[in-house]
Chain A
Amino acid sequence: MIEREDERLAKSTGDSVRLSRRTLLKRTAALAAAWTVCPWPISVPSAFGRDREFGREPDHQAITQTLEAFADTLIPGEKRFPEDRAIAGAVSGAGAVQAGAIAMLNFPPVGFQPALPGIATLLNVRAVLYALAHGISLELKLPPFVELDFASRTALLVEILDGDGPDQGAFYGLASVCFVAYHSAGYLPTADAIRDGHPGLAAIGFPPPNPDGVWRFPDFSYRRVLAVPHPDSQHGNPA
């Protein structure tokens, strides 16, 4: 269970918590120690070269969970099952994850696949730093970003995506791909996606094609004069 450490400490001290540099360093050291034994091996060990040392593959489940949580923060959806942690369940109905964000991120023409382990690592590092800065305790049974609650995930992504940090571009690219998954089903032919009930296209009301798979709209106009033209215009052109 996530507990806001600042609140707990505030209760005990009767004062708001301001993390000193020393406190931050102590907590970082504690977390670093915890990482060596924690059960989510995704990328932080990789960042310290441990994967290479032991010849381990990246933890695909943890990467996926991290990216799902990222996508769900951008376009929220409902939990897929009661124990779902990647999806925060902030709303009812489908979100980016159900719309295929992970398939989109792994879709070869997108070219993002090789970067996913690294960017998931980066996100989890940012999540740890965020937790430290805000006095949030992490159990470290899950990737740190997944452990954050929806409000914290959102606040962190605002910090990253609307900020000027060196990693902003990478995360903005990641976010764009998630949006394309939901709003455009960009990993599928659009007609097929609509036929199969793609939840994002359904949510925005993207119209279905004709039975032959081609879009045509014979009814497209009010067929009414709705304005007067500019007096100086000629054949639709400005003077």
Chain B
Amino acid sequence: MKTWEELEKLQPKVLKIIQNSFKKNRLAHAYLFQGKKGTGKKDAAFLTAKSYFCEHLEKNYKPCGQCSNCKRVESGNHPDLHFIEPDGLSIKKEQIEALQKEFAKTGVESNRKLYIISGCDQMTVNAANSLLKFLEEPTEGTMAILITNQVHRVLPTILSRCQILTFQPIPPKMIQQELEKKGTPSHIAALVSQVTNNIEEAFSLSRDDWFAEARTKVIKLYEVLDSRPDHALLFIHNHWVPFFADKEQMEMGLDFLLFLYKDLLSIQIGNEDDVVYLDILPMLKQQGLKLGQRTVLHQIVSILNAKKRLNFNVNPQLLMEDLVLTLQEG
């Protein structure tokens, strides 16, 4: 978990707002932290929790990190801090009900209670409605922090009851440079920087063999689609589905494919600096000239659609076959 200082470098604005709220004792009853994956939302939430419970606040806002409350927040053992994250695909109504029961009671150690809901866009409609009641009538000394990376999927009724703090993404170019400094090949670094916003995660991904291989598979698929369209379905069956076995991997695979088509578009509009697949630039250039912008756009949309469907538990093989057929149509 990051310290206040480390996080301050990445998210100066957000931390300044939190810091001032603590100093002036004007904390809102509910916050919504929104921003891309890896921007430090969860770290910020736990830091806020520490400040909220800490016994020896430094300068009225900074948690000491030494007292038993800080330590227990860190280890997940604080009895008045409740952390909820999706159980499986979504946050279920039961989880929110358990939370509600918890909040009908007095605090275990003090009158302060705090709950953090991670991935609050993944709440079922029922869960979200249960939560609403609680956000509407906050009890004294209760604070909520909701975390999401897809703010547009959160119910507007929930949004309107929270103070929204937006976490700035770190520019991908910066991550790419950072990785290249550590000796990562530039074509890997470029792709990694698109996938995550967290430098540590980016670094570990860049050393992951799976990641490099996944990248090759995606390029392969593109080549097959381009040169031997009738083999595409076979490729999906033999290579793609066994390799991208679970949902997260599949999602990443689709993301990679998306970046590739985005590259085509970048080339067409003369934006070659943004190309992610640097090593196959000549081939992409050739393709980019051949296809129309409208076609590429259409293809991008179909990949985005496939990504959406993935979340509805569609059979991955059928999903990919459908996608490949759509891509071939052009």
Report if A and B associate in a common complex. Answer: no
